[in-house]
Structure 1
Amino acid sequence: MTIVVTGADGFIGWPTALRIANRTEERVVGVDNLARRQWVEEVGSKSAVPIASINQRLAAAEEQGYGNLSFVEGDLTERSFVDELLQVHEPRVVVHAAAQPSAPYSQINGERANYTQHNNMQATRNLAFGLAENGLSDTHLIETTTTGVYGSPDFPIPEGGAVMENQGERDEVPFPAMAGSFYHLTKSHDAANLRLAHQQFGIPISDVRTAITYTTETEETAADERLRTRFDFDYYFGVVSHRFCAQAVAEYPLTVYGKGQQRKPFISLEDAVEGLARLALNDVDDRPAEHVVYNQVTRAISIVEVAETIAEVAQEHGLDTEVTHVENPRDEDEEHAMEIENDRYMELIGSQRVDFEGGVRDAISSLVAYQDVVTAHEDRFLPDALQEDVE
């Protein structure tokens, strides 16, 4: 039996492939086109923590006893590649973590918006139709979409559908797409396509809506430096918590947009990987038979609290940093008390493993050793339009 993990060279995909391989004797096949490395280089940045080549990663994994982990390089937007992949390996589970994951990157210009939408949606459609048309409709398809599909509604976000009422009648419907970028729209479309794939093909679907993911270490990646996953900290590919950590290590102001009272959903890498691994390793009798949505989040945190927590931890390391507020370049409410339901996901993982402050401590500790790399890329912390505001 085989488990396929797409996006296996990525931030979440790589540690997920390692965890699954560590917990099963089944063959785990990682798939990636290695484009993430190119995207980050394209915007003039790099991972703060050195990232080994895929061949070095695989060699290190084998030395650590992962004899069941292999890798295939290929592009999921090419239907012929997807068909060959599925026909050769006949997976019982596909964990689909492959995507261009950056909202800011998708907003740079029309070319990158088109690329993001083609890359992300074509890959998901190819997998869904590939499973259906190659006699693999029983394969459990697990996709990491994003909590960004929800937008910022002024009511608690459900874990799955919403209730719509009109003229006194009520019914549960898919949550409406409230995405705020061309990237987030790809995940909204993916969510709709996955629902339809289940309805038409009977494919069991787990739609895992991933929150902002902090820290870059798991039990498996910590075993060897060559197994580390990425630590992107630039404006385009670094999530807000990682950008703030890098700014703190470079003793650069932590730049909060506006009031910073916007609450955002967060989860540690450890807690994200654990949920995906548990879904992938569920016995056939225990896995979802339908289309199931999981809100992959452990708590919502305001941006200003994120910055203040990171500044406090940085000061414990002797770093001279402070929190500063700059004009918000985004069209968003600067105060939002987000509430998001996550009962189904918490039941899946059992309990939170890494809280936010603990994750920040790990991240700052990791980054201090690479302070020179971070400092050399100070100009990547913010878009050019905001540079003067923090000088």
Structure 2
Amino acid sequence: MGILLTGADGYIGWPTAVRLASRTDERLILVDNFARRDWVKSVGATSATPVEPMSDRLAALRDELGARNVSFVEGDLTESSFVDRLIRVHEPETIVHTAAQPSAPYSQVSREQANDTQHNNMQATRNLLWSLEEHGLQETHFIETTTTGVYGAPEFPIPEGGATMEHGGERDEVPFPAMAGSWYHLTKAHDAANMRLAHEQFDIPVSDVRTAITYGVETTETAADPRLATRFDFDYYFGVVAHRFCAQAVAGYPLTVYGRGEQRKPFIALEDAVEGLVRLALADPAERPADHTVYNQVTRAISIVEMAETIAGVGTELGLDTAVEHVENPRSEDETHKMEIENDRYEALIDGQSTTFETGVRSILERLLEHDEVITANEDRFLPSVLSEG
């Protein structure tokens, strides 16, 4: 019994594991196959912050937090036999599923990356859900980080999960249609549909946490010891736009905005994303969702150009030579789209507490200045080849 956390070596998974270890004495089983490290390496990129071996990370949990309730299992969730054994042996009361190939650009590289992404992400989720059913664990709370990217970019405010559809004079509440714009985002749309089906057929309580673009270099807990640091990718494939801009500022490189950059995207600080997952995982059994519930885990929608200008401003205050530069957009997107997204359910979950973008950016820049040599040595990874070679 206890909590099973998948993707424990990942950017969000690891700090979630650390916070859980700091707040509960429940048994905590961490699972990963270290694929994220291999994917990043395959595109010639690296984390700006050192990512320690799992053995060192676990030692730091014991040293800094006194955690004695944590164990780690290495394995591939796409393998049915591994997942069956994992669920049968540990019988978790809660699963926090953060394991996935998380990069839209990586999933777009070729047929091979698209196929690998879809197989990896969807097979893992299906294996976990079916194993819960087959081992009689239908009361296990299944929490997954999907993505706000499943919504696409509609012209109306995005609801928190469902929508009202009217046709032929009749109305009904229906799941929001999958409007994903990449092979990666489509995996999460399929996961959302599969989780809904698992709830309907198996009666498994599901929390579909549609996490926005997540930025940040640390949480309160991971800052306590360098061995507890999570990864920080800043390349075109695995580094989200806020991370790429921050790394460019540290390297004295122009902050490259694709096209006009006036489109708004949903964002959330790592600190806040972790908090939402931890609160769901540690909810009192009597208060845990028994239904299928969608949370839009987002605190704010920000335009790309506003983000760049904010980072440039903070960088200037820290003595960095920063400038914003507009370049040709390698993506097909509306560069002026003004996204609106509802998040009342998520705001209630975290009691309306959230990190301001400027505060989060300042923390990133201050920490990245300690690793500026790694960034400058890899500045060729900032842009896709179609732009860097132009």
TM tier, shorter chain? Answer: over 0.9
Alignment of 1:37-186 (within 5 A): 37-64=37-64, 65-186=66-187
SS in structure 2 of the partner of residue 118 of structure 1: helix
- Deviation at residue 321 of structure 1 after TM alignment: 1.6
Number of aligned residue pairs: give it. Answer: 389
SS in structure 1 of the partner of residue 230 of structure 2: coil
Quote the Cα distance in structure 2 between the aligned partners of 1:61 and 1:55: 10
- Deviation at residue 22 of structure 1 after TM alignment: 1.1
Aligned partner letter, 1:343:
D
Cα distance per residue 1:224-261 (max 9 Å; x no partner): 00000011000000000000000000010111111101
Quote the Cα distance in structure 2 between the aligned partners of 1:98 and 1:66: 22
Aligned partner letter, 1:125:
R
Question: Is the contact between residue 298 and residue 352 of structure 1 (CA under 8 Å) also seen in structure 2?
Answer: no
Quote the Cα distance in structure 1 between the aligned partners of 2:352 and 2:275: 10
Aligned partner letter, 1:137:
Q
Quote the Cα distance in structure 1 between the aligned partners of 2:49 and 2:23: 26
Compute the TM-score of the two structures, normalised by the length of structure 1: 0.98
Q: Which residue of 2 aligns with 1:14?
A: 14
Quote the Cα distance in structure 2 between the aligned partners of 1:236 and 1:352: 30
- Deviation at residue 355 of structure 1 after TM alignment: 1.0
Identity over aligned pairs, percent:
71
Quote the Cα distance in structure 2 between the aligned partners of 1:183 and 1:49: 25
For structure 2, the 5+ residue unaligned runs are: none
Q: Which residue of 1 aligns with 2:233?
A: 232
Q: Which residue of 1 aligns with 2:326?
A: 325
Q: Which residue of 2 aligns with 1:369?
A: 370
Q: Which residue of 1 aligns with 2:257?
A: 256
Q: Which residue of 1 aligns with 2:36?
A: 36
Say which is worse superposed, 258-267 or 349-358, in terms of deviation: 349-358
- Deviation at residue 146 of structure 1 after TM alignment: 0.1
Q: Which residue of 2 aligns with 1:385?
A: 386
Quote the Cα distance in structure 1 between the aligned partners of 2:255 and 2:367: 18
1:27 aligns with 2:5: no
Aligned partner letter, 1:260:
G
Quote the Cα distance in structure 2 between the aligned partners of 1:368 and 1:351: 31
Quote the Cα distance in structure 1 between the aligned partners of 2:51 and 2:226: 8
Which of structure 1's runs of 4+ aligned residues deviate more than 2 A?
A: none
Quote the Cα distance in structure 1 between the aligned partners of 2:332 and 2:163: 25
- Deviation at residue 167 of structure 1 after TM alignment: 2.1
Quote the Cα distance in structure 2 between the aligned partners of 1:135 and 1:168: 42
- Deviation at residue 388 of structure 1 after TM alignment: 4.8
For structure 1, the 5+ residue unaligned runs are: none
Aligned partner letter, 2:287:
D
- Deviation at residue 352 of structure 1 after TM alignment: 2.7
Question: Is the contact between residue 52 and residue 226 of structure 1 (CA under 8 Å) also seen in structure 2?
Answer: yes
Question: Is the contact between residue 150 and residue 186 of structure 2 (CA under 8 Å) also seen in structure 1?
Answer: yes
Cα distance per residue 1:69-122 (max 9 Å; x no partner): 111000000011111111111100000000000000000000010000000000
Aligned partner letter, 2:25:
E
Aligned partner letter, 1:57:
R
Q: CA RMSD in A?
A: 0.8
Quote the Cα distance in structure 2 between the aligned partners of 1:113 and 1:332: 20
Cα distance per residue 1:195-242 (max 9 Å; x no partner): 000000000000000001111211110110000001100000000000
1:284 aligns with 2:282: no
Question: Is the contact between residue 299 and residue 354 of structure 2 (CA under 8 Å) also seen in structure 1?
Answer: no
Aligned partner letter, 2:44:
G
Aligned partner letter, 2:172:
D
Compute the TM-score of the two structures, normalised by the length of structure 2: 0.99
Quote the Cα distance in structure 1 between the aligned partners of 2:71 and 2:359: 32
Alignment of 1:302-317 (within 5 A): 302-317=303-318
